[in-house]
Chains A and B, each alone.
Chain A
């Protein structure tokens, strides 16, 4: 009997020992963090995460700027700034542009970048099997002068392709060309080093780049799907592009990182009212609903910086960059109530919902459910409307576009796009929100027909005056895209100089000393 007790006690000790060891190990593992910051060990190489390799094909928002020369870019005021094109002139209608190219620009294999490369690129993008743009006429005047007739004005976004490398390839296979993954000949600030399938692309600073060798020696594009934040936190990345705004609070509290917000366009989220709906026919009602939303509070709710502008109306990107936009209508629930009273909407039965002629002020707003971080927006607005005596139901849809375009809605929370074509679609002759204003129709038609930036600014200014009074759309927030950046990356500012991909030539890396 005593012998048995001893054995059990030993077994207990062993079990306890194993338990204590396992527990300590788990606690140590959970609590400890790697010593040092591995980001600094990468030296003068920047690692950016991207969702997938498809970003490297020739497309919008893609990263060809790294290795392809760009015709022009924009300065901080939205004016054209020379890149490959040193100077330019345009016709009176701004549709025909003549670009004078630099004579010192070279591809990485030593071949000069010429007007023939520009023509080759535009012809290729216009090819029936590529269909990236339509009907831009290009004429080569001489090796360094090219004339382009473009419906949309200056082609600032154009990245030139090397004709001598790609001319023999089949345009039918344009989107499959190996060149997008292995651009062995480059003419941008960086030149290609290597590609690891589905994993990464590496570039090194181009010493022969016509704007001078960039300060950052190497750039690695790491294709990590949705795991950008994990890569950043584990020290494997310096930059997470297009990060979800829901992750901002998590990153912002970590001193190793900074969050920048980049504004790509003057568009943003807005509520579009169905203007022929009995509830929203009256402009006083639309104004009251706009006044009832505390739009500055929405910034905090969506983790946006508090100094991001709030505004009403429509404006071009140039106007936005120059801050030529009006102050927003204030948050004024008292005036909102008065306007609704004036329009005949009163809570007569005391149930908290206003009525007029027996009809309660109740409607459904359709909302796109896909965008992380913006899901609290409609709930907050719903609460503010409730205080006003207006009942807004929120219907979250996977895809809003169909119903929006088909006019099948009462109100829709969606992105407002500021381009002339989008303005026509929203407020023009066949307005999808059933807004009818002959002057707005005339102005949107004019905006779609001109490429003169000054004329566009004037038209947008006139439109803003009308839309600010009529409020067929209540602007909520400017579209700002967050980027998570390790603090060693220097040279970024919110909101106009905050995209590391666009401004990579201005960046430098701190060595941590």
Chain B
């Protein structure tokens, strides 16, 4: 397994290098000069062209593209992601500030997805063709079809604007630092309710449908029939025998779904003013802030590679028939 892991990681290096190169070229070929955006944003006061020229020199934008690329890739290899044109701060510092917020959202959304999606999928499969099954199927289809940002806006309108039960945006209340320890935890959770719900439920709808179908497949297997024939209770048959096997593709699905969950949070972060990586990336694209665009793209690419690797590893861990050691599984 370890040899397999090392081999996969080594294979990922040229892949990431290729992604880095393509991203760099695409970003720089896109129309729009960061200093022009800088000028546009400062329409209240005419900026001295000398300032622009000096900033261009400072950020190396006056250099030919291949020189800029060589410098960027060299810095990247040293873990230096450069300095943001817009914020004029190191990109690593900006990402370090933002990534915990995105992770909070993503991890909780994955939990909601897993718990809700799997349990509803099981319920629908166990009650196949019943009213519950049909309602759950229809509900999952509807929720899966609704765009996340639209659902988010509707929920904000209902629960925040009209009812005032939940906050409209942000990660904490204005009086957060005046609260006690418990109050702070509750306040953070209160702010997480809507974004996590939107992000988690949207994915859970898909997971539930997948889980239902997978469990139904497993329930028709002969070993399940054998378990039933042994007189085991239906609950034991489902939870102990069928579910474990049905979960295998679900667990691997999560590995591959991880980067997409982060990607999905881009719009949700925007709606809820969640100061995560997604909103940082969107603002950077608007401002042609190359260092941030490149850094967030590289993080997304790394997550895709790691997600796939994780899925493959999980597959081997969960399913004893799969082995990467070249040995025949028992």
Residues of chain A having any CB pair with chain B under 8 Å: 29-30, 32-34, 38, 47, 52, 54, 57, 59-61, 128, 131-135, 151-152, 157, 174-176, 194, 196, 198-200, 202, 220, 222-227, 230-231, 233-236, 264-265, 267, 370, 397-399, 401-403, 405, 415, 417, 419-422, 479
Contacts and interface: CB of A to CB of B under 8 A. Distances in A.
A133 B48 contact: yes
18 contacts: A29-B163, A54-B87, A59-B42, A60-B45, A61-B42, A128-B54, A134-B51, A152-B48, A176-B89, A196-B177, A199-B172, A199-B173, A227-B169, A230-B169, A231-B168, A399-B30, A401-B37, A401-B40
Contacts of A59: 42
B48 A151 contact: yes
A52 B174 CA distance: 15
B32 A402 contact: yes
A30 B50 contact: no
A450 B272 CA distance: 48
Nearest to B87: A54
A199 B170 contact: yes
Given A38-B164, A133-B48, A198-B97, 9 more contacts: A29-B158, A52-B275, A61-B44, A196-B177, A198-B171, A199-B173, A225-B273, A397-B31, A401-B32
B32 A196 contact: no
B325 interface: no
Contact of A401 (B36, B162, B168): B36
Nearest to A173: B89
A331 B182 CA distance: 65
A420 B42 contact: no
B55 interface: yes
Given A196-B177, A402-B36, A479 B89 contact: no
Interface in B136-176: 156, 158-164, 167-174, 176
Question: What are the 10 closest A-B residue pairs judged by CB atoms, nearest first?
Answer: A225-B273, A419-B46, A399-B32, A175-B88, A227-B169, A230-B168, A198-B275, A401-B36, A134-B50, A34-B164
A421 B46 contact: yes
Interface string B37-76: 1001111111011110011001000000000000000000
A256 to B, nearest CB: 12
A457 to B, nearest CB: 17
B170 A133 contact: no
Contacts, number: 146
A134 B48 CA distance: 7
B102 interface: no
A227 B177 CA distance: 22
Contacts of A399: 30-32, 36, 288
B158 to A, nearest CB: 6
Contacts of A422: 46
Nearest to A176: B89
Nearest to B276: A198
B286 interface: yes
B271 interface: yes
Contacts of A133: 48, 51
A410 B162 CA distance: 49
Contact of B158 (A30, A152, A198): A30
Contacts of B168: 224, 227, 230-231, 234, 236
A370 B43 CA distance: 16
B140 to A, nearest CB: 18
B88 A224 contact: no
Given A133-B51, A175-B88, A403-B31, A227 B272 contact: yes
A398 B87 contact: no
Contacts of A225: 169, 270, 273-275, 279
Contacts of B172: 196, 199
B2 to A, nearest CB: 40
In this complex, the member of B93, B97, B170, B275 whose beta carbon has the largest number of chain A beta carbons within 10 angstroms is: B170
B51 A196 contact: no
Interface string B198-226: 00000000000000000000000000000
B101 to A, nearest CB: 8
B312 interface: no
Nearest to A417: B43
Contacts of B159: 29
B46 A152 contact: yes
A233 B49 CA distance: 42
A220 B32 CA distance: 35
